[in-house]
A and B are shown apart, each in its own frame.
Chain A
Amino acid sequence: MLLLLLAAAGALMAADQPLSFSHAAHIEKARMQCTDCHSGAKTRDNAGIPSIRRCMACHQFIATDRPEIGRLAAYWEKQREVPWLRVYGFSKDAAVQFRHAPHARAEIECARCHGDVASMTVAVPAVVHTMGTCVQCHRDNSASDDCVACHF
């Protein structure tokens, strides 16, 4: 389920997520960091979509009176994960092997590839991930532009 990608590249469609999660509320209001939930973004290949355990670590106590949090708690009580839809990702045809960790170590801001998620309610693919986007940034940062840097 998590592997469902937004098909049309560039189409600024908001995924029809199972809960109306607001990135802005968490980042701008609650002052959270991206890595608080996407914990692999700086250290692993995949940033990761948080498990419901992580949501409930806070929401067992915070904002429990809100209806959306009630729906979240319903998943929790049924011992189900929230079937979030993945917003970013490369299609299998692209034969791209992307790793988050080296990009984070090179101090590339999350927003460089993911847009200003902090001000979004539902995350949308604001930055189009074409090969041009990647190669231009690699060249600007004197990273490798060898084909096999990404395609293997």
Chain B
Amino acid sequence: MPEGSTEAESGTQRRTPQWGMAIDLDRCTGCEACVVACSSENNVPTAGEDQSAKGRAMHWIRIDRYYEGDFPNIRVRHRPVLCQQCDEAPCEPVCPVNATYQNAEGLNVQVYNRCIGTRYCAINCPYTVRFLNWYPPEWAEPLGLQLNPDVSVRPAGVVEKCTFCVQRIKRAKLNAAAEGREVGDGEVQPACVQSCPAEAMVFGDLSDPTSRVAHLANSRRAQRLLEELGTKPRVFYLERAD
């Protein structure tokens, strides 16, 4: 078997992809299909009414709403916010047990086994996209019957967050390795990207100048959230043209 495919399986392809995402805010309708798809793909537990009221609802991706103008001349803007997979992530250096780090492909990884639940990362994240499992995960029946076997269920006391659907990245790499080729552009689709009916979200390799996401990230409309903090996020928002 060719050597290249062994490398690809081990996660060190000849060209290490640099994963990133572009979200076209002109297309986003705020329908929250991404939120549902994400929770379902990634076994994100339901917090329940009481816990949600305490601000403990868990959503790896959320839709921020911004209202402009006064009623009735009001305009709503939507912005899907997920882990920005920062290159200079504020969550990483504060973890006392190295449970979160940036890997070679630019993913801001959360290692559940290492996490001891200090929540320093969640507090230090300017995008508030990290969540502690306050209680053992629960799902209202029959949601518990549809857990994704490709994703671990996180126990209580562990912080979790968006992984860019790393299980799908792995799957695409394995499929590519089995066929002795490299992962193609658009082959990896996180659940949010796949479910977006407006096709507002694009995922791919930022280091490949021919990829769709790199093209969009270089657009004049592309901005990053709270860029002034110097976090160097890997999620690019294409601001509305108006």
Contact = CB atoms under 8 A, between A and B. Distances in A.
Interface of A: 43, 92-97, 99, 101-102, 105-107, 138, 141-144, 146-149, 151-152
Given A147-B109, A148-B103, A152-B163, A102 B153 contact: no
Contacts of A143: 6, 9-11
Given A147-B109, A149-B11, A105 B5 contact: yes
A93 B155 contact: yes
B199 interface: no
Contacts of B103: 146-148
Given A92-B152, A101-B174, A151 B9 contact: no
Interface of B: 1, 5-6, 9-12, 101, 103-104, 107, 109, 111-114, 150-155, 163, 166-167, 170, 174, 177-178
A130 B203 CA distance: 35
Contact of A95 (B152, B174, B177, B178): B152
9 contacts: A97-B150, A102-B177, A105-B6, A143-B9, A144-B10, A144-B12, A146-B11, A148-B107, A152-B167
Contacts of B177: 102, 105
A92 B112 contact: no
A146 B113 CA distance: 14
Given A149-B11, A152-B167, A94 B113 contact: yes
A149 B111 contact: no
Nearest to A143: B10
A20 to B, nearest CB: 31
A11 B112 CA distance: 26
A138 to B, nearest CB: 7
A146 B104 contact: yes
A94 B152 CA distance: 9
Contacts of B113: 94-95, 151
Contacts of A107: 1
B178 A105 contact: yes
A96 B178 CA distance: 21
Nearest to B175: A101
A148 B9 contact: no
Closest CB pairs A-B (n = 10): A144-B11, A143-B10, A95-B152, A102-B9, A144-B10, A148-B109, A147-B111, A95-B112, A152-B166, A146-B103
Nearest to B1: A105
A97 to B, nearest CB: 7
A120 B107 CA distance: 43
A97 B11 CA distance: 14
Nearest to A152: B166
